[in-house]
Amino acid sequence: MATIIEMPKLSDTMTAGTLAKWHKKEGDAVSSGDMIASVETDKATMELECFEDGVILKLYAAEGDEVPVGAPVCAVGEKGEKAPDGDASAAPIAEAPAKDEAKPEADSPAPVEEKAVAGSEAASDTRVKASPLAKRVAAEKGVDISSIEGSGPGGRIIREDVEKAASAPKAAKPASKAEAPSPAKSAAPAVVVGLPAEDVVIKVNNMRGTIARRLLESKNTIPHFYLEIEVDAAPMLALRKKLNEGLADQGVKLTVNDLILKGAIEALRRVPAANSSWLGDKIVQYGAVHMAFAVAIDEGLLTPTIKDADRKSIRQISVEAKDLAAKARDRKLTPAEMSGSTFTITNLGMFGIENFFGIINPPNGAILCVGATVKKPVVNARDEIVVGQRMRLGLSCDHRVVDGAVGAQFLAALKKLLESPELMLA
């Protein structure tokens, strides 16, 4: 008997999902555990799993459709069987269980809009079609999965394809179009990269719409105020170099962001009032630091959360941050991994931004904004003008819960830790 698969509820806040990409088509065979589609929620893109064996009898939603939670997306049954008409009462319902029902907090900055290029495919069509196992094996073996030709159904990359690619001899990198010999006469003028020929209308997806509403609510309802401090980054950079040299044989490579994360976590332990939330009729001062940090991806910005970060060493923080960042770039973060933060850090230093102030992500009481490290003339303790390495840190605070003195104390504690970074390891 045919089974209708509904749009699952993947988070407490989800009311609908956008069918971003079908990995199967009508008539394709499926087995329990197959990932049949990618669904874009208000927080991330999730995989829709099939829990039936059979063939896809009918697809009730097209790519790009917004499907309400509980509405049918496809029917699975035996080959030749008539597909139900899509009425939930016409056949047994197999609703994929939610990946995680933990309530996500609004701590993800809004993703950037998908870049529209004239003549290109939609962003969802450029995603690599691969099984979760194939992606994991590719990551373990260091194989670029986007360069593999899939042999599975619909060109899907499977584990055997990855293992074959990993064992194959490395081929010389083919010449790019720019490196290829050019003909004596050009058949057409070079393509100029720039503005599209005409206006491009970009549909607001679930994630961007939800985050936009939350950030607007944050800016309109939270009394923001801003503090800034300049830090001598030279001691932190020196410690990072020393640690990486000493731990190189163990495969450890700390980043500047790892040290800033650790420093902010330790500063919150020293100034716990900054690790608080305003909940209307009460203020909650948390007993643990759940540190969120921004990760840039092609489609925008996500903020995974390191839970119980105050109980972890800098090495543990570094490993977990890298793992979460990789999952964010693969759009594989679960709602639980993006929820429950008590504090957020956003860093634009890699883009050359020296100072900025972010919008608070409720229910956090503050967000730390990290700028670029720049060389500039400074006056040392002997009143000499020397070359220094300086970093500016901005703090956006919710004045209902973080007073000016509390914010200043937090930044002072963080400055002390970053300028005497050995204290972070004590």
| Catalytic residue ranges | 399
Please provide the size of the chain in residues.
426
Tokens of residue 311, six digits: 């109980």
- Chain centre distance of CA 31: 29
Q: Looking at the DSSP assignment, which residues form a beta bridge with residue 302?
A: 295
Find all residues with CB under 8 Å of 317, minimum gap 6, and list them: 258, 261, 262, 265, 306, 309
Residue with tokens 């006469």, as numbered in its chain: 185
Amino acid at 334: T
Tokens of residue 73, six digits: 């997306």
Residue among 353, 215, 360 nearest 274 (CA): 360
Radius of gyration, CA atoms only, the chain:
25
Residue with tokens 């204290």, as numbered in its chain: 423
Strand pairing category for 343-347 and 366-379: parallel
Amino acid at 138: A
